[in-house]
């Protein structure tokens, strides 16, 4: 009901809608309309009430509320079902729980804050209230489980394109899935899967996007390695606008992977990469080596020319060496 009231108020943006008109359209009493308006005000909506004119929506809260997300969606499936939390331990953990219970593909879990957010290699992720997009998406793909790790590269493509569209910030992808601006991380991606030998039950893609975190708001140990979309853009960025674009780009590239395979997705990754062509340090299991990152193969592995041959990197930390 509140979502429908908001839709009516948005349709008459800048003008008043009478309580009588709302009650007629929604087939509820004017008292019920008033109660819902009060609840929306308590949720942070700036709704002006006039005794003779009715109600006018002046401003929505800076929150990732389901009604606000739904009003901006450009997707067919992704984000049509939303689980919203003011604070949660981990959006990925909640998404995996819902996926195991049979939730539909495209369901998203979004939070204003996480208190046990995770990145790759079991690292923590700084997720302060109202400053970023802490998001997980449930997928139920038809492709083989061996292709599932490429979903991480797929998400990196979608996120980078979404940031470019919303801000024009010159960010790019560091292998395999970090999105950087001037050498500092904007986004982290964590992909988790449940599968049988020959079929995927579900894939959950978790994304942590530093949107409007000021440099001095990062913990001291992160200030040299993390930044925000706002810092890259030189201005505050609408989290709702960016989230809508992320979901749109992710749905587009996911449909491409399902219908045509991952080759077109990997081609997009190559175009957006800031790793290829650079000298890199590779910290792989049991060894460390350096070389020039020359490509990724069809499995998404990084190919590094060490001078003594091309090495294939499937796992490990890769850092870009500054020019000497």
| Run of H or E residues at 233 | helix 229-233
- Edge-to-edge order in the sheet of strand 302-305: 310-313, 302-305, 287-296, 279-284, 317-320
Question: Nearest 5°: CA angle at 227, between 117 and 187?
Answer: 45
**Residue 92 in marked binding region:** yes
CA 164 to chain centre: 14
Residue 140 DSSP SS3: coil
Going by DSSP bridges, is the β-strand pair 184-195/178-181 parallel, antiparallel, or unpaired? antiparallel
**Residue 51 in marked binding region:** no
Strand ranges (DSSP E) for 116-230?
132-139, 172-174, 178-181, 184-195, 200-210
**Residue 123 in marked binding region:** no
**Residue 74 in marked binding region:** no
Task: Return the closest-CA partner of residue 156 out of 59, 238, 271, 31.
Answer: 271
**Rounded distance between C-alpha atoms, residue 289 and residue 307, angstroms:** 11
**Rounded distance between C-alpha atoms, residue 74 and residue 166, angstroms:** 14
**280, burial (CB in 10 Å: exposed 0-12, middle 13-18, buried 19+):** buried
**Residue 91 in marked binding region:** yes
Kindly report whether the peptide bond that precedes residue 176 is cis, defined as omega within 30 degrees of 0: yes
Residue 32 DSSP SS3: helix
**Residue 119 in marked binding region:** yes
The answer to whether the beta carbons of residues 128 and 112 sit under 8 Å apart is: no
The answer to whether the beta carbons of residues 2 and 39 sit under 8 Å apart is: yes
Q: Which residues, other chains included, contact 51 with Cβ-Cβ below 8 Å and sequence gap of 6+? A: none
Annotated binding site for biotin: 90-92, 114, 118-120, 185
Annotated binding site: 90-92, 114, 118-120, 185
């Amino acid at each position: 009901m509140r979502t429908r009231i908001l839709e009516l108020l948005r349709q008459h943006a800048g003008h008043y809608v009478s309580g009588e008109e709302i009650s007629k359209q929604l087939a509820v009493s004017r008292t019920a309309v008033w109660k819902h308006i009060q609840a929306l005000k308590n949720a942070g909506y700036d709704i002006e009430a006039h005794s003779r004119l009715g109600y006018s929506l002046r401003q929505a809260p800076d929150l990732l509320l389901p009604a606000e997300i739904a009003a901006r969606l450009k997707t067919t499936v992704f984000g049509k079902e939303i689980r919203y939390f003011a604070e949660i331990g981990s959006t990925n953990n909640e998404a995996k729980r819902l996926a195991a219970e049979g939730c539909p593909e495209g369901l998203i879990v979004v939070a204003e804050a996480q208190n046990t957010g995770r990145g790759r290699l079991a690292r923590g992720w700084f997720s302060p209230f109202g400053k970023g997009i802490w998001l997980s998406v449930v997928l139920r793909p038809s492709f083989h489980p061996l292709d599932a790790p490429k979903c991480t590269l797929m998400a990196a493509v979608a996120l980078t394109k979404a940031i470019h569209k919303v801000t024009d910030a010159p960010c790019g992808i560091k292998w395999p899935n970090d999105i950087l601006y001037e050498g500092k991380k904007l986004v982290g991606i964590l992909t988790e899967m449940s599968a049988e030998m020959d079929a995927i039950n579900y894939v959950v893609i978790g994304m942590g996007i530093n949107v409007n975190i000021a440099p001095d708001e990062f913990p001291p140990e992160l200030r040299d390695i993390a930044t925000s979309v706002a810092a890259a853009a030189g201005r505050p960025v609408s989290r709702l606008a960016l989230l809508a674009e992320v979901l749109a780009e992710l749905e587009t590239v996911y449909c491409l992977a399902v219908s045509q395979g991952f080759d077109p997705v990997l081609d997009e990754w190559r175009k957006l990469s800031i790793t290829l062509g650079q000298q890199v340090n590779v910290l792989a299991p049991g060894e460390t080596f350096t070389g020039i990152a020359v490509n990724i193969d069809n499995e998404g592995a990084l190919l590094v020319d060490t001078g003594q041959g091309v090495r294939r990197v499937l796992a490990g930390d890769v850092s870009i060496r500054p020019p000497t």
